[in-house]
Every structure is written in C-alpha cells, then in structure tokens.
Amino acid sequence: MQRDIAIRPDMLEILDNLMGSYTIRKIIVIDPGEGDLKRAAGLVDPDNILTGGYAPADQADYWKDLVSRSILAR
C-alpha cells in the first residue's frame, strides 16, 4: 500500500486520476511552482502536503527559494 508519494508538479493530474485506486496519505511536491500546492490540496488534506527538491547543500539560494514557494495560503 502506497501512503506517501514524492511527485513532480507535472504529474499531479495523473495522480488525481489514480487516487481512487491507491491510498495516498501524504504528497511531497518536488520543486512546486505557483498553484501546484493548491492543486495538491485538492487531492489530500493541506496538512499532508510537503515540498522537496534536489540541489547541493551549498546552494542556499535554491533552498531559500524552495521555502518561499512552500507556503499554502488557507
């Protein structure tokens, strides 16, 4: 049983189509853009949405930018 999934924003539509077949508890959106977290919130409770990314640890600007894009207004 798949409970947590890390997914690129461009795959959220496919995940939406599969939600009836799988029990997904938590979505980790990789490098979300504007609106991607809202789309994910349509699939699971907003408290179960995380963001993630890939970059070397010394890329402080990347991580700061990711944090700034990781806010979901309620």
Per-residue confidence (pLDDT) for residue 57, from 0 to 100: 82
- Does residue 74 fall inside a structural domain? no
- Does residue 73 fall inside a structural domain? no
* Residue 19 phi, psi dihedral angles, 5° rounding: -60, -30
Per-residue confidence (pLDDT) for residue 23, from 0 to 100: 87
Three-state DSSP state, 5: strand
4: pLDDT confidence band, cut at 50, 70 and 90?
Answer: very high
**pLDDT higher than threshold 80 for residue 74:** no
- Does residue 38 fall inside a structural domain? yes
Residues 6+ apart with CB under 8 A from 2: 22, 23, 24
Q: How many domains does the chain have?
A: 1
What pLDDT digit, counting tens, does each position of 21-46 carry? 888 999 999 999 989 999 999 999 99
**pLDDT higher than threshold 80 for residue 2:** no
Query: Can you read off the two tokens belonging to residue 8?
Result: 């690129």
- Does residue 59 fall inside a structural domain? yes
Per the structure, the complete domain to which residue 36 belongs is given by: 4-68
11: pLDDT confidence band, cut at 50, 70 and 90?
Answer: very high
